[in-house]
C-alpha cells in the first residue's frame, strides 16, 4: 500500500512540474531520473517503522577539500560555459551548503546534460551532503559521467574515493588500480593516485592482519579510519 502512495505522489509531482511549473521538455528526463533516484534511496535506506526524532538542520562546515577540487579541475579541464556552474557550486560547498551546491549543479545540467564534469561535481556535492557516504544518487552521477566520457579519469577517481570513505575498500582499490593502469605516465594526478593506493593497501592489510604489498612482516601502525569528512584514504 505504501508503495502505491509513493508511486502516485511521484506521478503527481511530475505532472505538477510539467503543467504547473512549465518545465521544458528537455528537462523531463532529468526530473524523472531525480524522482526515481529519490524513490530508490528511500527503498534502500528508508525505515518508516522507526520512531521520529526531528532535529534542527545544521550546515556541514569544514568538509570542502580544496586539493580535491583542484584535482577535479586538472582531470576535467572544463573551461567552457558550464564552468560557471562549477564555480557557483564550489562556493556553496566551501560553506558546507552541499544541498545548495547540488541544486545549482542540477540546474546547470538542465542546460548542459552531456557535461561529465558537472555530473562528477554533482556526485561530489551529494557525497558531501551525506557526510562522505556514497548513496544511490551520487553513484548514479558518477556512472553517468563515466558513460558520457569513458576515458575521463575523474569519474572513477571520485567514485573510488567515495567508496573508500564509505568503508568499501576493496571496491575502491579495484577502481583506482584500473585507473592507474590506464593513466598516462606523465598524468598530473598519477603520483597522488599512487600514494592513495598505497595508503589504501595499508588500511586493507591492517584490517585483514596481513602485510601490505611490498612490506614484509608486520604492518606499521596506520591511523584508524575516522569520519569521511575528516580523513582522506
pLDDT of residue 25: 60
* 117 and 184 housed in the same domain: yes
Which residues form the domain of 125? 66-208
CA distance 77 to 81: 12
* pLDDT tens profile 132-142: 899 999 999 99
Highest mean pLDDT among 7-11, 82-86, 92-96, 126-130: 126-130
Radius of gyration over every alpha carbon of the chain, rounded to an integer in angstroms: 19
- CATH number of the domain at 143, please: 1.25.40.10
CB 88 within 8 A of CB 121: no
* Residue found under cell 551548503: 97
Which grid coordinates are listed for 54?
526531528
Asked if pLDDT for residue 92 goes beyond 60, the answer is yes
- What pTM was estimated for this model as a whole? 0.61
Highest mean pLDDT among 52-66, 76-90, 97-111, 196-210: 97-111
Nearest by Cα to 24 from 141, 109, 145: 109
Residue 227 within a domain: no
Asked if pLDDT for residue 146 goes beyond 60, the answer is yes
* 111 and 149 housed in the same domain: yes
Residue 91 within a domain: yes
* pLDDT tens profile 22-76: 556 655 565 566 555 666 555 555 555 555 544 433 333 335 565 666 666 666 6
* 34 and 74 housed in the same domain: no
Asked if pLDDT for residue 114 goes beyond 60, the answer is yes
Number of domains in the chain: 2
Amino acid at each position: 500500500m505504501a508503495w502505491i502512495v509513493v508511486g502516485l505522489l511521484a506521478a503527481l509531482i511530475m505532472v505538477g512540474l510539467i503543467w504547473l511549473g512549465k518545465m521544458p521538455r528537455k528537462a523531463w528526463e532529468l526530473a524523472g531520473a531525480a524522482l526515481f533516484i529519490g524513490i530508490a534511496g528511500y527503498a534502500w535506506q528508508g525505515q518508516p517503522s522507526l520512531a521520529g526524532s526531528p532535529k534542527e538542520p545544521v550546515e556541514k562546515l569544514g568538509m570542502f577539500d580544496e586539493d580535491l577540487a583542484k584535482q577535479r579541475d586538472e582531470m576535467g579541464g572544463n573551461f567552457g560555459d558550464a564552468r560557471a556552474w562549477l564555480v557557483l557550486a564550489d562556493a556553496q560547498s566551501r560553506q558546507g551548503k552541499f544541498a545548495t551546491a547540488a541544486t545549482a549543479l542540477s540546474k546547470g545540467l538542465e542546460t548542459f546534460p552531456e557535461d561529465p564534469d558537472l555530473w562528477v561535481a554533482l556526485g561530489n556535492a551529494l557525497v558531501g551532503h551525506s557526510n562522505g557516504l556514497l548513496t544511490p544518487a551520487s553513484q548514479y552521477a558518477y556512472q553517468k559521467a563515466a558513460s558520457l566520457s569513458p576515458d575521463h579519469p575523474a569519474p572513477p577517481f571520485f567514485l573510488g574515493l567515495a567508496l573508500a570513505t564509505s568503508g568499501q575498500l576493496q571496491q575502491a582499490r579495484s577502481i583506482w588500480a584500473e585507473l592507474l593502469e590506464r593513466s598516462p605516465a606523465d598524468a598530473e594526478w598519477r603520483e597522488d593516485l599512487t600514494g592513495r593506493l598505497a595508503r589504501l593497501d595499508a588500511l586493507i592489510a591492517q584490517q585483514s592482519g596481513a602485510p601490505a604489498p611490498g612490506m614484509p612482516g608486520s604492518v606499521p601502525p596506520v591511523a584508524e579510519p575516522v569520519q569521511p569528512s575528516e580523513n582522506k584514504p
